[in-house]
Structure 1
Amino acid sequence: MPQHQTIDITCADNTVLAATIFTPAITPKGAVLIAPATGIKRAFYFAFAEFLAEQGYIALTFDNRGIGDSLEGHIKHCNASLQQWGELDLTAALNYLQTHYPDFQYHLVGHSAGGQLIGLMPNADQLASVCNIACSSGRLRNMRFSYQLQAHFFMNMFIPVSNAIFGYTQSSWVGMGEPLPKRVARQWQQWCNGSGYVKMAFGKTISKHYYDTLTVPSLWLNAIDDDIANERNLDDMLSVFTKLPAETRMLSPQQYGLTEIGHMKFFSRKAKVLWPMTLDWIEQHTL
């Protein structure tokens, strides 16, 4: 049986992230970094990480700064940003794998923001492959009208009002994950209101990025019942990765005997029938 343990990951700015590492009972084939969606704690990915470990892969899950066990003090005093999640947190998590498990190939499975932000990682070119789940630009304008109204309410009313009243965004009140540090929520709002998501910050808060140089093989698995990561938003996100080789698949839940996949259900145990797609991709790119 795979083993797992709680660890700490120290970022370049000395921020400490809470993480869990799953290790296989056999000699590992490689290592996989699971990059979380906005406001989602690492425990959400434990079943998937255990599956990867059962197949012979080291799997690392972590809480971004300001989220879950990586939050220090009261959230209203947390200065974390979405940008830091890519530039510092993802980078440190991959560094941890490289330091503690050298001489392996490293893969990234990104969920939503976890895949969007890889172009901010200075070490992303050291990945052997990327598999992104429910990942797109999340541009509000590209969503179907009925969901667009809901998304506009959350992004352009709930976030600024919650930040003003509480000093952070009470995302859990509306079923949008863990409470978010105000700067995370504010950047999320700004980027989803524009085109190309993170592209909105190029030349502003982001002076250095790797979106136009990454050539890592990538697989993008999105669902036809995902209100956020639809085909138009997938194209919008891919337009920022100008050199990234990308294979895309739109999944139908009925095709796999599921009632829904949506934006979040891929990592549910009920959807484990989908997990071999990710494993197959990783194994194709493991020497």
Structure 2
Amino acid sequence: MSALSKPPASGIDLPGAAMAITIPAADGYPLAAFVWRGVDAPRLVPRPVVVINAATSVKSRYYFRFAQYLYDNGMDAVVYDYRGIGHSRPGRLRGFQASWTDWGALDCEAVLEYATRMWAGREVHLVGHSFGGWAPALAPSNRYISRMVTVGAQFAYWRDYGAGARWRMALKWHVVMPALARVFGYFPGRRLGWLEDAPAGVARDWSAPTPRYEDRPSARRQFRDAGLPAAQARAHILAISLTDDPFGTVEAIDRALGYFIRCERTHLRIAPREIGREKVGHFAFFHSDFQDVL
């Protein structure tokens, strides 16, 4: 069970029907999570539950308005912070052991298990942003997901970056980021204004120059003798990408989708001009400014 008598994120301004809880990860690490839960009316179709996975080093509160929007439109929702991020951050991040694989195989796994237990018999959907759309590939409980929507979801192979920004992004994320992580014992993204601070293991996984996730540092340990759990997922996947997102190129999205071999997969590519906007990029899909057009 997960709910605490004293919310783990006390002091944060929660919208609408949101409630702060703690979900123990698969190894017992306490994850801060936020739940929007309604009550089904008799004789109506049960409300599905939507697990929302954040992008790398983005706090869960970035998705609060999106979760509230889902709740207001007939769905329950769970948003959470990966270990080392936001309200799941330990007192000291330097030397804290956490990786992308931990975020998927332990953290996402635990939240999926929580959703299937707390909403027994309901459909479980998942919305994943950037790495959050890849995390279910690492979670054995992905078999419970009936539908997935991913936005710019990939695992950062540098050759997949947009051609116009590829070398600048490679320098930033594959040279500078791991170098700083080695010096500080974590990636100090906040002081650089890039992202939130992140565990060093996440920086190592991101910066690995391999096109196969199995060859990332943490994945080699976790999946050395077995394939990724992505192969067992059977969800209907809608992968959304934006033409002005240098992370979410066609090559990057299709590389990630290629692991979900048993899923029905659709890649929807959107140009900002098609919705009457100049730009959307990698992050703005979840801004409330876009709720009427996206």
TM-score calculated relative to the size of structure 1:
0.89
Aligned to 2:31: 17
Displacement of 1:187 in angstroms is 0.8
> Gaps (5+ residues) in structure 1?
276-287
Deviations 1:221-262 (A, max 9, x none): 100110111111112222222232101111111221223211
Number of residue-to-residue matches in the alignment:
272
Contact 1:108 1:130 in 2 (8 A): yes
- Please state how far the C-alpha of 1:26 moved relative to its aligned partner: 5.6
**For 2:280, which of 257, 261, 278 is the aligned residue?**
261
Distance of aligned partners of 1:274 and 1:114 in 2 relative to their CA distance in 1, 3 Å threshold: farther
**Is 1:133 paired with 2:151?**
yes
Q: Answer with 210-219 or 21-30: which moved more.
A: 21-30
State how far apart, in whole Å, the 2-side matches of 1:144 and 1:62 are.
Answer: 29
SS in 2 for 1:110: strand
Find the counterpart in structure 2 of residue 283 from structure 1.
none
1:123 paired to 2:134: no
Q: CA separation in 2, counterparts of 1:203 and 1:163?
A: 19
Distance 1:175 1:145, change over 3 A: farther
Q: Does 1:178 align with 2:196?
A: yes
C-alpha distance in 2, partners of 1:119/1:26?
A: 31
- Do the aligned partners of 2:101 and 2:219 also contact (CA within 8 Å) in 1? no
Judge conservation of contact 2:58–2:196 (CA < 8 Å) in 1: yes
Decide whether aligned partners of structure 1 residues 104 and 199 sit closer, same or farther in structure 2, where only a CA change above 3 A counts: same
Task: Select which of 249, 252, 262 maps to 1:243.
Answer: 262
Indicate which of 109, 114, 128 corresponds to 1:91.
Answer: 109
Partners of 2:188 and 2:195 lie apart in 1 by: 9
Distance 1:131 1:145, change over 3 A: closer
Q: In 2, Cα distance between the equivalents of 1:236 and 1:174?
A: 30
Greater CA drift, 45-54 or 96-105:
96-105
Structure in which a larger fraction of residues adopt helix: 1
* Residues in 2 aligned to 1:98 and 1:142: alpha-carbon distance in whole angstroms: 35
2: distance between equivalents of 1:109 and 1:82? 17
Q: 2:214 maps to which residue?
A: 199
Structure 1 position 174, deviation (Å):
4.2
Secondary structure of 1:5's partner?
A: strand
Cα distance change of structure 1 residues 203 and 172 upon mapping to structure 2, 3 Å threshold: closer
Aligned to 2:162: 144
Deviations 1:145-181 (A, max 9, x none): 4311221112232123212221111123444321010
Alpha-carbon displacement from aligned partner over 1:190-231 (angstroms, at most 9, x marks no partner): 1xx2214x2324972232421223221100010011011111
* Residues 1:7 and 2:25 aligned together: no
Which has the higher mean CA deviation after the structures are superposed, 1-10 or 14-23? 1-10
Residue ranges of structure 2 left out of the alignment (5+ in a row): 1-14
> Is the CA contact (8 Å cut-off) linking 1:2 and 1:54 kept in structure 2?
no
RMSD: 1.9
TM-score, length of structure 2 as denominator length? 0.87
Contact 1:11 1:89 in 2 (8 A): yes
1:57-136 alignment, distance < 5 Å? 57-136=75-154
Return the letter of the residue paired with 2:66. F
Structure 1 residue 46 and structure 2 residue 64: aligned?
Answer: yes
Report 1:214-253 matches (<5 A): 214-253=233-272
Q: Is the 8 A contact 1:2 1:53 kept in 2?
A: no
Residues 48, 82 of structure 1: CA spacing in aligned structure 2 closer, same or farther, 3 A cutoff? same
- Mapped partners of 1:203, 1:155: distance in 2: 19
